[in-house]
Amino acid sequence: MTVRYFGEDAVFHHIGIAVSSLNRVVDSEHPRWDDEVQGVRVAFVDLSGAPIELIEPLSETSPVSGALSCGRPLVHVCFEVSSLVASIGVAKQHGFHLLGTPTPAAAFGGRRIAWVYSKTWGLVELLERPDGSAGNP
């Protein structure tokens, strides 16, 4: 059975894993992006066919620092959607709560992301497709 908590067109994009240092996981030449808004530095790797976003905190106040200190490296699952507004609406119908407002993400060329949370499923990132519609939830 397929469950559509984020809309009919939501497609798995990646898994986010917290790391204390990107340099311990990938070499220094590996592409990485600093996202001051999110308080993280990220790099992407393909782990035997699974797309992984490695997430390093930029400071002790980064949300990722908390996950690392609690020993929870799995931070989030990301789904790509055509419309953040529509996907957030569907997610809310399934018990997810919007955390903050959608914001551009450096690692995705300024495409907007939104964070939703459920006690059952945890933290989910929604990534708007490049041709996705704009708008505010």
6-41: pLDDT as tens digits:
999 999 999 999 999 999 999 999 999 999 999 999
Contact 111, 102 (CB under 8 A): no
Q: What is d(CA 104, CA 123) in angstroms, rounded to the nearest whole number?
A: 18
pLDDT band at 132, cuts 50/70/90?
low
Using the CB atoms, write b or e for 96-109: b if 16+ within 10 Å: bebeeebeebbbbe
Q: What is d(CA 40, CA 54) in angstroms, rounded to the nearest whole number?
A: 10
Q: Is residue 27 part of a domain?
A: yes
Question: What is the tens place of the pLDDT at every residue in 85-112?
Answer: 999 999 999 999 999 999 999 999 999 9
pTM: 0.90
Q: Is residue 5 part of a domain?
A: no
CATH number of the domain where residue 93 is located: 3.10.180.10
Question: Residue 88: which of 43, 31, 127 has the closest Cα?
Answer: 127
Q: What is d(CA 52, CA 126) in angstroms, rounded to the nearest whole number?
A: 15
Domain count along the chain? 1
Exposed / middle / buried, residue 137 (Cβ in 10 Å: 0-12, 13-18, 19+): middle
**Where in the sequence is the domain holding 73, given as residue range(s)?**
11-133
